Amino acid sequence: MNNPVPVLYSFRRCPYAMRARLGLLFAGLSVELREVVLKHKPRDMLAISPKGTVPVLQLADGAVIDESRDILVWALKRSDPQGLLAGEVLDQANALFDQNDTEFKHWLDRYKYSDRHPEMDQAEYRERGEVFLQVLERLLCKNRYLLGESTSVADIGVMPFVRQFAHVDRDVFYQLPYPRLQRWLKAWLEHPLFVQAMVKYSPWQAGDKPVVFPL
């Protein structure tokens, strides 16, 4: 495969794919974007990443990165004009990602799809997820952003999941006792790069003209 730029298989609403797209945008890197329909995953993607989840990044040399955290860090290690990896933030960010991607995501999925998990009611699932929100609120009591006074890799890696949690029931979310987290999320939802990350693209099919992201 001899693509002049890497190829990113993505799905607009997936928080893991949002994380990857934000990393590429903050790094100022371009990729060929292939928007995936999860019910009809393209053979080309499955051929390079049989687990069948997005995002998947195939580099120009054929190497494949199919974990969102790895794509995020790969992009910022190539180019980090805003210093999202400055200092010692990566170890701290990885600790947050560990909690976000396991414990929080577990309860988030059950909160969002509580009808599929009748063992507990939706409010109980939300309360379990709030344990992580409380961690974030405490961090934001100390700083403007999660790990300091400027944006770091932690913010763009965690935010898509908080967004998904909030959007299960926005009225409920904005009544919860996390004012700093709510302000932080609102600011991110209005951030130009997040707006750019959420532009809609038509589903990709083999043979389509390449779509460069960002436009």
What does the domain layout of the chain look like in residue ranges?
7-81+196-213, 89-194
Q: Record the tokens describing residue 188, joined without a space.
A: 């991110």
Other Cβ atoms closer than 10 A to 86 = 14
Amino acid at 121: D
What class, spelled out in words, does domain 89-194 have in CATH?
A: mainly alpha
Give per-residue pLDDT as tens, 92-127.
999 999 999 999 999 999 999 999 999 999 999 999
pLDDT of amino acid 1: 41
Give per-residue pLDDT as tens, 28-70.
999 999 999 999 999 999 999 999 999 999 999 999 999 999 9
Asked whether the predicted pLDDT for residue 2 surpasses 60, the reply is no
Residues whose CB is less than 8 angstroms from the CB of residue 3 and which lie 6 or more positions away in sequence, other chains included: 32, 58, 60, 210
Q: What is the CATH number of domain 7-81+196-213?
A: 3.40.30.10
Mean pLDDT of 204-210: 96
Report pTM: 0.96
